[in-house]
Homo-oligomer: A and B are copies of this chain.
Amino acid sequence: MALEHAILVSLLEQPGSGYELARRFERSIGRFWTATHQQIYRVLRRMEDEGWVTAEEVGQGGRPDKRSHSVTGAGRDVLTEWLREPVQPEAVRHELAVKVRGAAFADAAGRTALVAEVERYQKTHEATLDRYLAGELRDFPQSEALDDGQRLQHVVLRGGIAYARMVLAWLDDVLDTLRGLGRD
């Protein structure tokens, strides 16, 4: 029940079409809330039916028309109300941790394969961290004064960076542990 709210925040930051929202979810918003375009279109339609957003057909010479969405007063009210509600405990789903514990029941070949897989996974997180850091330099230069919205976006990005760094350090720990199994 919160994709709606993520969409409201994103559309308040900047109105846009379902397609544009989907791309934002791949990049910025997707760091802390993932969604596919199918899901976004469906929810967006429902939000329109409920009057939380309005859509406007926008012709764009050359490319297909798009339906640009903006948040209504009612939509803002929904968001305000939601912001007052207690934060729900996170529903964690960390597949790799299950696999690591599962490695206790794998043979030597299986463990070797898992080491390789953790190394691959680590590389994707390194790339993610690099992307975040590049984005931070680009969007939040120290020299300029930031407005409230930018400061909030920045602190969320810092969370993403801290998370990526923590994961990388933990993956080193996992690799050391996997490689040290069966000794003494």
Contact = CB atoms under 8 A, between A and B. Distances in A.
A105 B12 contact: yes
Determine the main DSSP class of A at the interface with B: helix
B113 A84 contact: yes
A38 interface: no
Interface stretch (A45-53, A62-70, A88-96): A88-96
B5 A98 contact: yes
A158 B170 contact: yes
A177 B153 CA distance: 10
Contacts of A90: 93-95
Chain copies in the assembly? 2
Interface residues of A toward B: which range?
35 or more
Interface of A: 2, 5-6, 8-9, 12-13, 29-34, 76, 79-80, 82-84, 86-107, 110, 113-114, 117-118, 120-121, 124, 145, 148-149, 151-156, 158-159, 162-163, 166, 169-170, 173-174, 177, 180-182, 184
15 contacts: A2-B93, A9-B105, A31-B97, A80-B105, A80-B107, A83-B110, A83-B113, A86-B117, A87-B99, A90-B94, A90-B95, A91-B93, A100-B152, A100-B155, A151-B181
